[in-house]
A and B are shown apart, each in its own frame.
Chain A
Amino acid sequence: MKHTADLLSLSWRYLWSRPLTAALNLVLLSLGLASITLVLLVSTQIDRAFERDLAGIDLVVGAKGSPMQLILTGVFHIDAPTGNIPLAEVQALQKDPRVALLIPLSLGDSFRGHRIVGTSPDYLAHYGATMAQGAEWIGAMEAVVGADVAMGTGLQPGAQFLGAHGLGGGGHDHGEAPYTVSGVLARCGCVLDRLILTATESVWQVHEKAQAEDEEDRKILEAEREVTVALIRYSSPLAAVTLPRFVNASTSMQAAAPAIEVTRLLRMVGVGTDVLRGLGAVLLLTAGLSVFIALWGAVRERRADLAMLRMLGAPAARVAGLLVFEALWLALAASVLGMLAGHLLTGLIGLMLQAERSLPMTGWVGVPAEALVPLAAAGVAVVAALVPAWAAYRVDVAQLLGSR
């Protein structure tokens, strides 16, 4: 134990006796580890978000168009809708025995970039949402806001706000139909955190008021009511075989299976993460080579010092251990810096995504796979130190006696 403490202390001082080389190696190693940490944090959080938001949704039905766009709109609320679908067709689908649950979603308006979603209370129940303040909506033009929305906009129960036309913000306000906040949802870590939820009737009411010039118009619009998306849970696994085909072939709507589309999406995202992971591996390899060159140089520079240690009676293994511990110090420092940088970068990405009202991402989480980062650093460092340590182990002590 005493020897280890001495090795730690001595190797630390030997490492920083060449500060520029040590700092360069530290930066290289840290960059590689930061890339790997970033990939781990981002990919894990994307996977978790998809898994959480998709749980219990077997099929998404919407207007014909891109099935992936339908999933991104209907489940994750990060894309524009493909269009609307007739309410009558959705109601018919709801009565189909193959459908255990159907949750209608009506999109079109937003408040300060947060989407206003007209839906049924089933949507809250599906994600197990609970109220942090106030209560669920009872009638039209009442709304509950997600935790992120409440935090970002300051909306509290009793507050009123006007929805703006369009999902991205910047549209005209529906000045004639203000919403009243009935409650704030407790944070669920799911898509609801970013949404403003209201009764489907609220969305219809806002648009019918805006478009109808008289009562006759309003009745026509009422007869042509639409929703944007329907989230469906099957009543039995067999429905997966027949229902999507039925919807696509027999209705004006499109059915998209989230599992298939998300797998396709993750495959596309996966190319990016693979590139980043590859970049991290290249940086690690470069850092490993750099550490090797530095340690090899250190052995050459300090050959006489190492021999002197042997002359003083230090066992060969203890002298070689100095080199290995130097490398391990680098690995430890780079692990701390690299993981810190990886978390900071993920936090920055999270802030950018938050500004876009997109997927939730934070740098303040740890994932179990991160344990691999210091292990990778130690592995690279030890491999890089092996040959220099062997040279130190074999250092010719007798040369001290012949250095004329």
Chain B
Amino acid sequence: MIATQGLVYRYPGGSLLQFANMTVPQGTALLLRGDSGAGKSTWLALVAGLLTPTQGEITVAGQALNALAPAARDAWRARALGFLPQKLHLSDALTVADNLALVYFAAGLPRDAAAIHAALAALGVAALADRRPSQLSGEQAQRVALARAVLLNPRVILADEPTASLDDGAAAAALQLLREAAGRCGATLVIATHDRRVEQVFESALVHTLQP
């Protein structure tokens, strides 16, 4: 579950963003809409514990983020949050399997090769484990990034414009995979998007439009 109450964020430049109160039940999906500058990225950063709100409270998967010190917030994010960025940011210095292993490195956990294999297999890309990301097709890379996002069975998955630059077929497939992966984890799914195709796949999702 994600719950925000009286959320306000003041940018270092001084401008202020106020967000409506919001509650997203555990295991459901939220489509976060809004034009550029409406505050989608800021809202995601606040929910991910990357930014500290100027006012208000955020509770994510039962954890009040305001109560956590920065280091504890890092540790919480590593275990409770999965993240699928618009640009996938798979490191070409590492193999696909090693890119997934970064999740364990970040969380300070021992590498679990079996779990990495299972996550890749669930998304049909286990055979690509030893390849470099530059050797993958766009769709394969998207699956690998999704495997990374769900590797530790997060309580919340944040997806930032997951269908940007994908054609209709690829976008539908990516969204389907995202929904299935979130379903397997029982995770709350938040998709920041202005792509209308997303609503067609997530018909029953909550939709919240941020106003600039």
Contact = CB atoms under 8 A, between A and B. Distances in A.
Interface of A: 2-3, 6, 10, 13-14, 16-17, 302, 304-305, 307-316, 318, 397-398, 400-404
Contacts of A308: 85, 89, 91, 102
B106 interface: yes
B160 A314 contact: no
A404 B105 contact: no
B147 interface: no
B110 A2 contact: yes
A401 B41 contact: yes
A312 B103 CA distance: 6
B50 interface: yes
Nearest to A309: B106
Contact of B83 (A304, A312, A398): A312
A398 B89 contact: no
Given A13-B98, A404-B161, A313 B86 contact: no
Interface residues of B, number: 40
Interface string B128-142: 000000000000000
B57 interface: no
A313 B78 contact: yes
B199 interface: no
Given A401-B45, A404-B36, 15 more contacts: A6-B104, A17-B92, A305-B91, A309-B102, A312-B83, A312-B107, A313-B79, A314-B78, A318-B105, A397-B50, A398-B45, A400-B85, A400-B87, A401-B41, A401-B50
Nearest to B160: A401
B93 interface: yes
Given A13-B93, A305-B89, A305-B91, A398 B75 contact: no
12 contacts: A3-B105, A17-B93, A311-B48, A311-B50, A312-B77, A312-B102, A313-B79, A314-B74, A398-B51, A401-B85, A402-B41, A404-B164
A137 B161 CA distance: 96
Contacts of A318: 105-106, 108
Contacts of A16: 93
